[in-house]
Amino acid sequence: MLDTNTLVTGLLIFTARIAEVSIGTVRIIVTVQGRSVIAFFLAIFELLIWIMVVSTVIHRINAQPMLALFYAFGYATGNVVGIRLERKLALGFIILRVITRMAGKSLADRTRAMGQPVTVFRGEGMRGPVSGRPTAPLTAGGCF
């Protein structure tokens, strides 16, 4: 049976780990995108939370070993929450460019039918006209 102090501390650790890992997920994405200022401030918050949580767990692990489980479950849950948060924020947009001589219209129509926006550009290549150039911004989850 958990005493009230262990339960409250554990829930705080669990919640803080979710926040910290979720921030870390978003920080990694903005780092890859080259948004260094945003990544800088996210890293500060992420590490401040991590230091507070880890120091609490380390200082209390002998008396309250259940805190390790709260820590681990917070980490695992934070991964799931971070991925869902990224999908909601749609930070991971991808631009897909396809150049085709014949299938431009049908490819654009099929992509639109899957719920993705498509822009078609007409152009001319080395061997003559290009029938279409669908450009579709896709979310990180993508449609393909």
CA–CA separation, 57 and 79 (whole Å): 20
Q: Does the residue 144 lie in any domain?
A: no
- Total count of domains within the chain: 2
Its pTM stands at 0.65
Same domain assignment for residues 50 and 105 = no
Same domain assignment for residues 78 and 12 = yes
- Residue with tokens 């290549």, as numbered in its chain: 125
Q: Which residue range forms the structural domain that includes residue 103?
A: 94-138
What pLDDT shows up at residue 54? 96
Same domain assignment for residues 13 and 66 = yes
Last residue of a domain, one of 48, 65, 89: 89
Same domain assignment for residues 8 and 39 = yes
Burial of residue 130 (number of CB atoms within 10 Å: 0-12, 13-18, 19+): middle
Amino acid at 124: E
- Tens digit of pLDDT for each residue in 8-64? 999 999 999 999 999 999 999 889 888 899 999 999 999 999 999 999 999 999 999
Same domain assignment for residues 80 and 32 = yes
CA–CA separation, 105 and 100 (whole Å): 10
Same domain assignment for residues 73 and 126 = no
Same domain assignment for residues 39 and 106 = no
Q: Indicate the DSSP class of residue 42.
A: H
